[in-house]
Amino acid sequence: MEKKKTTKTKKRKTKTKKKLLIVEDEKILSDMYKNKFIQSGFEVFAAPSSKEGLKLTLKKKPDLILLDILLPEEDGIFFLEKLRASPKISSTLVVVFSNYDNPTTKKDALSFDIKDYLLKTDYTPKKIVEKVKSYFK
């Protein structure tokens, strides 16, 4: 009598890395946050301006965008206007992460259905990573 060989295949749960786009014009900050998020398992892209951020959003389809408000040429509100007007990327999750604590700007940003408006001074790099991770739970 032949023994039947059975092979058990273990299904590996492949965790897809969440894609994050950082739109930040200050390179030192952009690099610091990028490295922190990569260390935490994210796939990270960075853009120094609204225009570059919109191009990368269309190309890479990030799960979340970390957006500074004070950017060269067009600011973060411009970015949000263009993002929400583009059907292919309009539903992308956005968290504003800025040092600009202006009530009118915050109100304007919130009108574009952002997930949150966070002040950089309130978060260490570790804390912002934890906060972003909480949006995916």
| CATH classification of the domain holding 123 | 3.40.50.2300
DSSP state of 23: E
Task: Establish if 4 belongs to a structural domain.
Answer: no
pTM for the model: 0.87
**Does the pLDDT at position 1 exceed 80?**
no
Confidence class for position 16, pLDDT limits 50, 70, 90: confident
Q: What's the rounded mean pLDDT across residues 115-136? A: 95
pLDDT value at residue 13: 53
Task: Establish if 36 belongs to a structural domain.
Answer: no
Which token pair is 88? 């292919």
**Domain span at residue 101?**
41-134
pLDDT value at residue 12: 52
Sign, CA torsion 77/83/86/92: negative
pLDDT value at residue 62: 98
Task: Establish if 18 belongs to a structural domain.
Answer: no
Task: Establish if 22 belongs to a structural domain.
Answer: no
Domain count, the chain: 1
